Structure 1
Amino acid sequence: MVDLQLPDLSMAPILWDRNRDDTLVCRQVRQETHDVKTFVLSAVEPRLLRYAPGQFITLELEIDGQNINRCYTLSSSPTRPDTVSITVKRVPGGAVSNWLHDNLKAGDALRVLGPAGEFSCFMQAVPAQHKYLFLSAGSGITPLMSMSRAVHDLTLNADIAFVHSARTPSDIIFARELELMARNHQYFRLGFVCERHGDQPAWAGFNGFLSQAVLHNIAPDFLEREVFTCGPAPYMAAVRTILQQAGFDMARYHEESFSFETLSAATVPAAQAEQRVAASPEPAARHTVRFARSGDEVACSGSQTILEAAREVGMRLPVSCTQGLCGTCKTKMVSGQVDMKHAGGIRQREIDQGWILPCCSKPLGDVVLER
């Protein structure tokens, strides 16, 4: 428990240093829907948190004597840099989501890593001049909400069509705020798709599931837009099918892996794919792995993963599954070669572009990573 004292706003602002700062305090808990809560967090001492809308933080938790890392996308916007927020859906059987819902309260401190991640329209050259289609389902709304809040706060002229899918109208997260954005922003179009009416028989929105017809209705020009998608794996697979059948240029398609708690072995390709970036390593060899952004270096044998070597010297990297499944630790390899055995957490086109998963990659020589 951390004392809830008001910060001295007259102090000169200090930036959050992701390489040094590691503790956030829960300041408020908001009930969004019957099974979704938002946790508003800030640093122990006043810090301004800078990040790209759509990035995530990694929580380092101890639950029932077990150390668990779990990544959550920030639903907040960096345009309001004194606090960040995560919005968490209670997952049946989910160790972390249930613990957060049942235990985390104002005043509690959390150890965190980040922010990090590459899923953001703000990482493009001129976001204000682009046309976007945001597609989300369930709590996959969070990164797209972060981007939308930033566009709204900055009064950018980015043209956004936002289509969110939910089980029922009562399950729509941030419904009122999204409707307010649509009223305030000339270039913000909004559509909700619900599987069923639930307790709102007068629901006048779209019924059923996302389809090409729904997209044509909400965003007739969707083939011209940059698409950002986040949601459960079956939803994202359906989105890819819809877009491909419509002739969409998939080079302009971006998706974010959903919460690791919703993944299981059943969703992983049966082959537990081996992806070899080069030939087999020499187990006894010792190599240097350098992290370009932080300047850190670690020694790593050919029989160790990069994650294992980094943890040995106390480095903290964002990671959830440690098995090449979730893609949380994905980073760009600037130089070098690795032997990577993943379980579906990275796509072939990402590998071709130089991305690797440190949790399942063993160096074949000296390696430089962008992180």
Structure 2
Amino acid sequence: MTADEQAEVVVIGSGIGGMTAARMLAEFGGRRVLMLEQHYTPGGLTHEFTRQGRYHFGTGVHYLTAGPGPMLDYLADGRLQYHRLPHDYDRLHFPGFDFAIPASEDEFRARLKARFPQEAAGIDRFFATARKAARGMTARNLVASTLLRAALMPVVERLYPDTFRTIREVVARHVRDPALRAILSARWGLFGPPPATSAFGGHANVAIQAFMQGATHPVGGARELGRAIMDGLERFGVVLRPRQRVQGIIVEKVRAVGVAVEDRATGRRYTVRAPCIVSAIGARNTARLLPPAQAERWERALAPLPKEVATLLLFLGLDHSPAAFGLDGANHWFMPDIDDDAGIARPLGEGILFVSFSSLNNPAARAHTIEVMQFVDPGVFRAWSRTEQGARPNAYAALKAAVTARLIERLDARWPGIKASIAFAELATPLTFVTYQNSVDGAFYGLATSPARLRSSIARCRTDLRGLYMSGQDAWGPGIEAALWGGIMAANAALGFRETGRMWRAIRSARAVPDPAAPWRGYMRVSRVEAMTPTIRRIRFEPLDGGVLPFRFLAGQYVTLDLPVAGDTIARSYSISSAPGERGYFEIAVKQEEHGLGSKVLHRELAVGEALRLCAPFGTFTLDAAGEAEAERLLLIAGGVGITPIMSMLAALAERGDTRPITLLASFRSESDILFAAEIDAARTRLPGLEARIVLTAPDAAWRGERGRIDAATLRPYVSGATRAHLCGPPAMMQAMIAALHACGLPRQATRTEAFVSSRTRATRAERAQAIAMAAAAAGITTFRITTSDGIGFDCRPGQTVLAAANAAQVPFSQSCGEGACGSCQARVLAGPFVTLGQALFSEEEVAAGHVLACQTLPQGDLAIARPGA
């Protein structure tokens, strides 16, 4: 076979199983991994989508076990945060009675015995059987992954016979009361088919044992799970390509040696040769990719297995919180029959429902949602299986509308008034899952967890083809956490002995700890919002669960917030104003910009109690008070909201008890615009060497303080003897101050500056980038060449910044924020045409000499540059 590309590992599918296998093979095997995803968004069922710019819906993650295993934490590099569901996390509704499932096996048993005292002995026997059957399920999965499967599997079945029986068989053997049987058999929808078909081992493992310590939901939604894991994949060099449909697995004799691929974006077809192929798309889909001889063997093995159950999934957006109807975040199960095997056969809209309230369990949710799932036979929709999304017959749309209406009626009957609060509704059918997940008949749990599946040779990570491994749900079991273990077992089978040893030692280690040198990423809660002036707000952030801040910062550093805008997020950076010694919270001050998308969110939409995602700390505009000697004068200059990082510096100096001469020169427009007046007065008391002068540029007649602008005459008395000046303010002021300080004798390197780029600047940069790209395309130019003064050359795509091009070419370049805030990426253009923004960090003389920020500079032709420190 002549291959277009070569790889060491190809992973088909980017769900949890695929991502886990890719991470293990790259990290512990050092393999070059290529992951191919047919959808345009990677992450499998960790994917979320947005409607009406505010409703965020998960597609497969509704809740996880309490304190998900260390492996999930490991994959996410310790970055995931979890919100705990109520103690009664699942609530069952049968005809004539309800029952709540608590996060405690002892309490669960006690509630059952209180309701069914005559069945007490049978209840105890049932739970003992469930514990043993769950162990049997793990033993089955481990043995199925070994080369000795055929010999060992009969031993496992003899040791754990109930694992391989149906739910109905086991429950009926232990208890007699039909209502009690219904409770013990319920919630099979967490993993597969109804009680007459489901293997009790799967039920014991998931529905009975897994949640006995409670349930959780990822803060930020399911997408945080995928995002954190994908960041780890990038760190280990895994290449992920979306919109790539694998057309076939190439087999030579008895070995898989590559894949044939179609790029769905361009239509290009190509092949990739690799000695290791991991399929994370399920056994049935994998069989379809094999050559006829191998596919026939797989199909014969799959034929005896029962067909899978699929779902309808109704996504609802609400005008206000479900808490108004007495809901608290618990999941609700609606069983219209005491017999679940009868309930699954009911018509669309009338059957068994699972209802979850993800927004109540996600502190970062800004609009409320409900997700309603009905378990259905996918055969009902097979008549439309050959039709395309958006071009299906009217009968299909009519059916969806009728089912949607009926499901909403059932919710409203349980919680009167909820129908009137629904502002958005969209129904996904099994065909939707076929389109987006490529699951067979829309059954997203993979192979049905039946006794036949547990005995089958097809549901395991090792296959009958060398070099081909199965990952995900069909390699271990259904659900997010089981799919993860499918990925681990696929890697275990593919790695060498020493490599697997390292992997298992890592898995057995303690919970992952984020790299202390890396910025912290996660969610924090807004605990206070204060109007400082008509246009400036002070916002306080605290950890979600209280306690201490998860990161430390230096005075003068900043945080980057991910702010929700029109269904997406934008990143905006804001200086920290609070003291580095304060460990319970941090604060920022935000000015409302006329065209600022970020400031609009923070001023008009943000409320106390909301959670926002952030990264921190960043920036080199710092003053490490604890690490400095008290020596010569320190000069702090601020204009308007630029005083924010300066206040953190004063607080740090006060915490230290600094006695050196310190001068603060702060400029504001009017008296009503003065910021931190009380804090400045307090600093005067705590810092004996502080002289603070406030100057107004446009005061009213009643102002008795200083007027005018800070200029060279103002600065001159303080520059003599000063070792350093920190400067932050509007661009025009900063440019003037840099020149004035230099004219007064302060060396340029002693002036530290910071100026965040406004949204208008970002928009201007985007417009200029587009214009440059269009002009280059019209001239037939595809790249510019950038050459550094130390002899490194790299290409730059027209419309790309110098810094982005350097990063793409892996050319080392000092950087921090990437948006013109920190000044870390200073460079000097020696020759060539360019446009740039962010020049407030330089004096007019420096601008004339070609000093630029690489993150704000767009080449218009070939450039010669000098990198700092190169």
Is TM > 0.5 for Structure 1 vs Structure 2? Answer: yes
1:85 aligned residue: 587
1:2 aligned residue: 363
* Residue 166 to residue 154, structure 1, CA distance change in 2 (3 Å): same
2:742 aligned residue: 244
1:140 aligned residue: 642
* Residue 182 to residue 76, structure 1, CA distance change in 2 (3 Å): same
1:233 aligned residue: 731
SS of the aligned residue for 1:53 comes to coil
8 Å contact from structure 2 (residues 557, 620) kept in 1? yes
**Any residues of structure 2 matched to 1:193-342 within 5 Å, and which?**
193-198=695-700, 201-216=701-716, 220-225=717-722, 226-261=724-759, 263=761, 276-277=787-788, 278-281=791-794, 305=805, 319=817, 321=819, 326-328=820-822, 330=824
CA-to-aligned-CA distance 1:278-309 (integer Å, 9 cap, x gap): 453379xxxxxxxxxxxxxxxxxxx9746669
Identity of aligned residues (%): 23
Q: Choose from 77, 96, 108 the match for 2:610.
A: 108
SS of the aligned residue for 2:675 comes to coil
* Residue 39 to residue 356, structure 1, CA distance change in 2 (3 Å): same
The residue type paired with residue 224 of structure 1 is G
2:554 aligned residue: 52
Residue 29 of structure 1, CA deviation: 0.5
1:42 aligned residue: 542
1:11 aligned residue: none
SS of the aligned residue for 1:128 comes to coil
8 Å contact from structure 2 (residues 595, 760) kept in 1? no
8 Å contact from structure 2 (residues 697, 708) kept in 1? yes
8 Å contact from structure 1 (residues 29, 38) kept in 2? yes
* Residue 124 to residue 231, structure 1, CA distance change in 2 (3 Å): farther
CA-to-aligned-CA distance 1:98-143 (integer Å, 9 cap, x gap): 1100111111111111211111121895253342110000111111
| Structure 2 gap ranges (5+) | 1-361, 365-512, 773-784, 797-802, 828-833, 860-870
Residue 263 of structure 1, CA deviation: 3.5
Computing the radius of gyration from Cα coordinates, the structure with the larger value is: 2
* Residue 2 to residue 182, structure 1, CA distance change in 2 (3 Å): same
* Residue 331 to residue 124, structure 1, CA distance change in 2 (3 Å): farther
| Whole-Å separation in 1 of the counterparts to 2:650 and 2:672 | 21
Q: Which is strand-richer, 1 or 2?
A: 1
Aligned length: 311
8 Å contact from structure 1 (residues 306, 359) kept in 2? no
SS of the aligned residue for 2:548 comes to coil
* Residue 231 to residue 76, structure 1, CA distance change in 2 (3 Å): same
Residue 181 of structure 1, CA deviation: 1.2
CA-to-aligned-CA distance 1:52-73 (integer Å, 9 cap, x gap): 1000111112201233111111
SS of the aligned residue for 2:794 comes to coil
1:290 aligned residue: none
Residue 197 of structure 1, CA deviation: 1.8
| Whole-Å separation in 2 of the counterparts to 1:148 and 1:16 | 29
Moved more, 106-115 or 205-214: 205-214
* Residue 184 to residue 262, structure 1, CA distance change in 2 (3 Å): farther
RMSD: 4.2
Q: Choose from 519, 524, 529 the match for 1:29.
A: 529
Residue 359 of structure 1, CA deviation: 10
2:633 aligned residue: 131
* Alignment partner of 1:343 is 2:343: no
| Whole-Å separation in 2 of the counterparts to 1:139 and 1:214 | 20
8 Å contact from structure 1 (residues 131, 159) kept in 2? yes
| Whole-Å separation in 1 of the counterparts to 2:703 and 2:673 | 13
Residue 47 of structure 1, CA deviation: 3.1
* Alignment partner of 1:166 is 2:668: yes
8 Å contact from structure 1 (residues 58, 318) kept in 2? no
| Whole-Å separation in 1 of the counterparts to 2:804 and 2:749 | 34
**Any residues of structure 2 matched to 1:65-80 within 5 Å, and which?**
65-80=567-582
**Any residues of structure 2 matched to 1:346-365 within 5 Å, and which?**
357=855
SS of the aligned residue for 1:22 comes to strand
| Whole-Å separation in 2 of the counterparts to 1:304 and 1:234 | 27
* Residue 22 to residue 79, structure 1, CA distance change in 2 (3 Å): same
| Whole-Å separation in 2 of the counterparts to 1:81 and 1:327 | 25
8 Å contact from structure 1 (residues 30, 39) kept in 2? yes
Q: Which is helix-richer, 1 or 2?
A: 2
SS of the aligned residue for 1:145 comes to helix
Residue 275 of structure 1, CA deviation: 6.8
SS of the aligned residue for 1:164 comes to strand
CA-to-aligned-CA distance 1:35-86 (integer Å, 9 cap, x gap): 1111100221323331110001111122012331111111111111211111
| Structure 1 gap ranges (5+) | 4-13, 284-302, 311-316, 334-340, 362-371
Residue 170 of structure 1, CA deviation: 1.3
8 Å contact from structure 1 (residues 41, 83) kept in 2? yes
| Whole-Å separation in 2 of the counterparts to 1:267 and 1:203 | 40
* Residue 262 to residue 53, structure 1, CA distance change in 2 (3 Å): farther
Residue 247 of structure 1, CA deviation: 2.8
SS of the aligned residue for 1:143 comes to helix
* Residue 123 to residue 359, structure 1, CA distance change in 2 (3 Å): farther
The residue type paired with residue 657 of structure 2 is T
2:356 aligned residue: none
8 Å contact from structure 1 (residues 331, 358) kept in 2? no
8 Å contact from structure 2 (residues 623, 649) kept in 1? yes
2:260 aligned residue: none
Residue 21 of structure 1, CA deviation: 3.9
| Whole-Å separation in 1 of the counterparts to 2:519 and 2:617 | 10
